[in-house]
Amino acid sequence: MIADLTWLQVSVVIFLLACVLVGTLPVINTALQFLTLPVHAFRNHYSRAKPYHPNIAVLIPAWNEGMVIGPAIERILQLEYPAERLRVFVIDDASTDDTPEIVAAKSQAYPGRVNHLRRDVGGEGKAHTLNHGLDVVLADDWTEAVLIMDADVIFAKDSLRKLSRHLADEKVGAVTAYIAEGSRDRNYLTRFIGVEYVISQLSSRRAQNVQGAIACLAGGAQLHSRANLEAIGGRIPSGTLAEDTMTTFEGQLKGRRMVFEPHAVVYAEEPRTIDALWKQRLRWARGNVQLTSIYRRLWFRPSRVHNLGSFVFGLSWFTILLLPAFMLLAALALLTLLLLHSDIAEVVFRFMWIFAACVYLFSIVYSVQLDSRVGWRSWREAILFPGLGALILMAIALFPWLFVSIVTLLGGALTDQTRFVWSVIFYLWGPISMLGVWLARAIEHLPGGHFFAGLLLYVFGYGSLLCAITVDSYVKEWRHADAAWIKTEKIGRVDS
């Protein structure tokens, strides 16, 4: 095929093939991540961990958390951890519901162990709320470590001592837990989130342990040593929507190691609607866009102090941040190849989707066995995570005769014109799928819309939903839209 082209055409084809390769980087990164995973069995922090029980101040930021704050306090006090070494501080961010009364009652029931810190002026965001608490607990020499958690999460009883054992190594600045989707009334969306968390935490963060650089300490469960917090100024960085990630970066830039502990399980309540998830993840995505600019002199610059500037970490960061752009680049390059030389386009299309199919099968099978509970209750969502449309494209790439058979079975004739139309749809499936999930969000609030929104998500894929949210974050940042911190509504649906 290449031999029949002029040198100019060959140059154009090579350029387009390079664009397809760049567009495939997210799949390559996923493959590298899962090939790294087995190494975690040998390269981890457990050899330097040992039983260690420092005095821990638990900070719980709370704004109108009356429905969940009482049980949250009780469950923390019931953890398998020395009672005299655990104190709870609820930072009440000027709540207008019954949060102050509930916390006050707990303070009376557990004097000295539960403390109510009231902010008269609230609404400044989570970082400011946490800093109010840090000012208090770090002023007391009793505090040797600080656990930052959300008001709605439930820690497994042995989770805190599994986290604290890593702080026995003075080089470790902070440890984070595995946040598992824990809603008792699950629906299709929370099951998708459960699968996502297995991939993004149990898989991805294990790989980051191996690589020596953690992207983010989970906001709902992060245990810091006192030395780590003092090294970053005793404050949680404000002025960004990703204070958790920025805190993680700052600790590593000071030379301290961050550790992900996969066996410390914390259950969290997750959004049940696409719109609620969109708002939550839009904040996260915009925060990552902001941090990419803030740390622009960090990327791909190796350092002896930290591994944030390594090529592997940078590849992982940017393939997530730029995933929609990579998807669009690959689609446009394939479409151009189709117009210029359809035979080459078909071969490249097949190779790309066969590679994606192999990585998908390997990663999903590997991931779900890391948390068998998610595997059993969310097997449909695990299978359909990339969407039914993407699975069909994988099948067509693996078995080209399948498409011809389906068209013939439906009584259609596969002419050059119809083949071209279908090829355009196949090659542009990435952008089409993002439009599909955008439609799902738009119709969700309509009568019967919840059912059809879920149906569209199964067709176009949960991954496409995350891509669409990332695109929205680009637009919001470009327009300098309001970046106020928005609290996700929690009503206590976590199953203990």
Which residue has better confidence, 238 or 430?
430
The correct answer on CATH 3.40.50.2300 for the domain covering 43-285 is no
The proportion of the chain whose per-residue pLDDT surpasses 90, expressed as a percent, equals: 72
pLDDT at 59: 96
- In degrees rounded to 5, what are phi and psi of residue 68? -125, -20
CATH 3.90.550.10 boundaries in the chain: 43-285
pLDDT at 492 over 60: no
User: Burial level of 75, CB count in 10 A (0-12/13-18/19+)?
Assistant: middle
β-partners of residue 175 are 223, 259
Structure tokens at 314: 């940078």
β-partners of residue 85 are none
pLDDT at 485 over 80: no
Range scoring the smallest mean pLDDT among 17-21, 102-106, 123-127, 376-380: 123-127
Which residue has better confidence, 486 or 379?
379
pLDDT tens digit sequence for 425-465: 889 999 999 999 999 999 999 998 999 999 999 999 999 99
Core vs surface per residue 477-493: b (16+ CB within 10 A) or e = beeeeebebebeebebb
